[in-house]
Structure 1
Amino acid sequence: MIASLPAIVSRLRLKQLRLLIALDEHGSLHRAAERIAITQPGATKALHEIESTFGTSLFTRTSQGLEPNDLGRCVIRYARLIHSDLAHLREEMMGILQGHGGRLAVGAIMGAVPLLLRALGRLREKQPELSVEIVEDTSARLLDLIDQGRLDLAICRTSVSRRPDAYDCLCLYGEPLWVVCNPGNPLLWAERLELQDLGDCRWVVYPTNMPMRLLLEREFREAGLEFPRYPLETSSTFTTLTLLQQDPALIALLPEEVAASAARFGMLARLPLHLRSVSEPYGVISRHGASLPPPALLLLDELRLEAD
């Protein structure tokens, strides 16, 4: 039985978390104890206290030393997150005390990355000592990180959430879409294409239930066509671009800004196909009622310039 949250909070200490990280890195109590400057009997006692706190064994004793089990790996992962968060806390406090710098954590869906980078570029010119973490992911994952307090802002869509009213949407942006392919695809010779002309093509598509996947499914449905069979599914920009470069027969749907940037470097080309559907707008999202740190407010000002 895993201990209750109040029991864990009241008994767990930061030095115990440091011991877990050291054990994961060194595999023995002796070396882990040396790493965090305690005696080996002290490390043995601390490990016993940690396992008693969680109410379960976290390591398997082997002839090579201590090896974390599945629960141990889970606890170690969160121990590293807590240690990282404390480092970020100190960094942000130092920035506040010094009157400059600080730390900002921001996320963006793929189509919003160019917009975010432009805004961050201007902000970093004004705040060169600002430390920035950038996360590119799906809207659902970014909203999870907002909920956990791991992101200050995210540029994404709240429609994927079951509780969109839990967020403040600070401003909105449209997202034009291109159907793209390898520059060597023979379809580029056509003056104009219809969706049925792509019926035999292999597609790289977003995973099920993502907004751009739903839009593409709607396009095929309204055209009276079957959705492409055996597509390659990914939400990764890099993976999509790599697949298009490797296979001239593949086609994909990408946000205009991402596609145009890749096209300038000759990585892909736009097919002469007009989509009737309009992509759902995305916004700059924060937790409802949350007090944004100064760097996030400064970034928000820069993002507003992009919307004007």
Structure 2
Amino acid sequence: MSDWTQKLKVQHLRLLICIGEQGNLSQVAGMMNITQPALSKWLAALEDDIGLTLFERHSKGLRPSAGGRLMLEHARRILNDLERSRADIEQFKQGAQGSLLVGCSPVATDCVAQALLPLTADYPTLRLQVVENVMTPLLQSLLSAKLDVVVGRVGGRALELPLNYRVLYTEPVCFVSNREHPLACKKSITWQDLLDYRWIVWPTGTPIRVSIDNALVEHGVMLPENYLESSSMSVTLNMVQASEMVSILSLRLAQRYEEQGQLAILPLPRIEQKGSVGVFWRKNETPSGVLQRFLIHLHTTSAGDESPA
């Protein structure tokens, strides 16, 4: 069997991605300015060379097969790498010392910021971009090479992905409110006290939500019916500060906000359901010098600022 990778060109990768997104050869042919017969012939020849059906034919069009989804994943990563190379070279010509694209979940913003400060001192002309989101889309962007590294909660399906990871720290979660909240003035409160107020919680399936759901089960408490879900730390912070709503945060982040006078940690007995924050990066790739330095700073700042368990 011939080496089909030798025949592939950048335009072919774009064709594959377009077919995967549109699911219709006629539409793709029109969009890419080629004839449908030529497109069909090329796709059939590629599948024959690979020895794999990439798209399954259905009455409503084409759908990627399992092998096709794997091929599309690689195609997207290759194109993203090429675009990254173009941008890096242009930045290098202007004096940049490299680039780093960081994905960060809201729970990890504190440790990421502390690691980036010394990194920017190491590389004063570094091209740096930080994207904040929940873990699922961040990890998908990491797999497709849109990001170099992701820092956030470790758990769930994240550990099943083909990624390297390292746990940075483990900590409990806690309830928070605004500083003038009726519960913030008490020496101790119960779960029943919390049920008198509306909760803002992380979306279902996120690691911190799993932690609080497990804690509720352990204490025989049901999640209030009128709870709100938010994956935005800034939205949650603003809503808690402006109302009598309560929310759940990792202890380290809550302590930071309390020190800054923005929130109060409610005196509920310690929730022993702990969550781990870690860093993820791609396997089978040698990390750049910038990424290696960032990983070192993450480890140093996290180890030096552990919250009590």
TM-score (norm 2): 0.69
Query: In the alignment, which residue of structure 1 is the partner of 2:135?
Result: 139
Letter in 1 for 2:270: L
* Aligned counterparts of 1:11 and 1:187: Cα–Cα separation in 2: 58
8 A contact 1:108–1:116 mirrored in 2: yes
Gaps of 5+ in 2: 1-7, 16-28, 40-76, 304-309
Deviation at 1:257, TM superposition (A): 3.4
- 1:251 equivalenced with 2:246 (yes/no): yes
User: 1:281 is paired with a residue of what secondary structure?
Assistant: strand
Letter in 2 for 1:236: S
Query: In the alignment, which residue of structure 1 is the partner of 2:100?
Result: 104
* Aligned counterparts of 2:187 and 2:84: Cα–Cα separation in 1: 54
User: 1:149 is paired with a residue of what secondary structure?
Assistant: coil
- 1:115 equivalenced with 2:111 (yes/no): yes
Query: In the alignment, which residue of structure 1 is the partner of 2:293?
Result: 298
Deviation at 1:208, TM superposition (A): 0.9
Deviation at 1:259, TM superposition (A): 2.3
Task: Map residues 62-73 of structure 1 onto 2, 5 A cutoff.
Answer: none
Query: In the alignment, which residue of structure 2 is the partner of 1:18?
Result: none
Task: Map residues 199-214 of structure 1 onto 2, 5 A cutoff.
Answer: 199-214=195-210
Q: Give the one of 248, 262, 269 matched to 2:257.
A: 262
Deviation at 1:213, TM superposition (A): 1.3
8 A contact 1:107–1:154 mirrored in 2: yes
Deviation at 1:134, TM superposition (A): 0.7
User: 1:274 is paired with a residue of what secondary structure?
Assistant: coil
Alpha carbons of structure 1 residues 82 and 239: separation in structure 2 relative to 1, 3 Å: farther
Q: Give the one of 8, 11, 35 matched to 1:9.
A: 11
Letter in 2 for 1:199: L
Query: In the alignment, which residue of structure 2 is the partner of 1:282?
Result: 277
Letter in 2 for 1:105: L
Total equivalences in the alignment: 245
Alpha carbons of structure 1 residues 12 and 134: separation in structure 2 relative to 1, 3 Å: closer
Deviations 1:223-270 (A, max 9, x none): 1122111111011100101111221x2000112333233333432211
* Aligned counterparts of 1:103 and 1:302: Cα–Cα separation in 2: 16
8 A contact 1:205–1:213 mirrored in 2: yes
Deviations 1:55-77 (A, max 9, x none): 8xxxxxxxxxxxxxxxxxxxxxx
* Aligned counterparts of 2:128 and 2:176: Cα–Cα separation in 1: 31
Q: Give the one of 162, 170, 175 matched to 2:171.
A: 175
* Aligned counterparts of 1:269 and 1:162: Cα–Cα separation in 2: 31
Task: Map residues 33-112 of structure 1 onto 2, 5 A cutoff.
Answer: 50=32, 52=34, 88-93=84-89, 101-112=97-108
Deviation at 1:191, TM superposition (A): 0.6
Deviation at 1:158, TM superposition (A): 4.8
User: 1:106 is paired with a residue of what secondary structure?
Assistant: strand
Gaps of 5+ in 1: 1-5, 14-46, 56-80
* Aligned counterparts of 2:153 and 2:289: Cα–Cα separation in 1: 23
Query: In the alignment, which residue of structure 1 is the partner of 2:266?
Result: 271
User: 1:175 is paired with a residue of what secondary structure?
Assistant: strand
- Root-mean-square deviation (CA, aligned residues, Å) is 3.2
Letter in 1 for 2:148: D
Deviation at 1:207, TM superposition (A): 0.7
Deviations 1:129-178 (A, max 9, x none): 00111111112222111111111111124533276251111343123433
User: 2:262 is paired with a residue of what secondary structure?
Assistant: coil
User: 1:89 is paired with a residue of what secondary structure?
Assistant: helix
* Aligned counterparts of 1:49 and 1:218: Cα–Cα separation in 2: 50
Query: In the alignment, which residue of structure 2 is the partner of 1:125?
Result: 121
Alpha carbons of structure 1 residues 255 and 49: separation in structure 2 relative to 1, 3 Å: closer
Task: Map residues 154-233 of structure 1 onto 2, 5 A cutoff.
Answer: 154-161=150-157, 164=160, 166-233=162-229
Query: In the alignment, which residue of structure 2 is the partner of 1:72?
Result: none
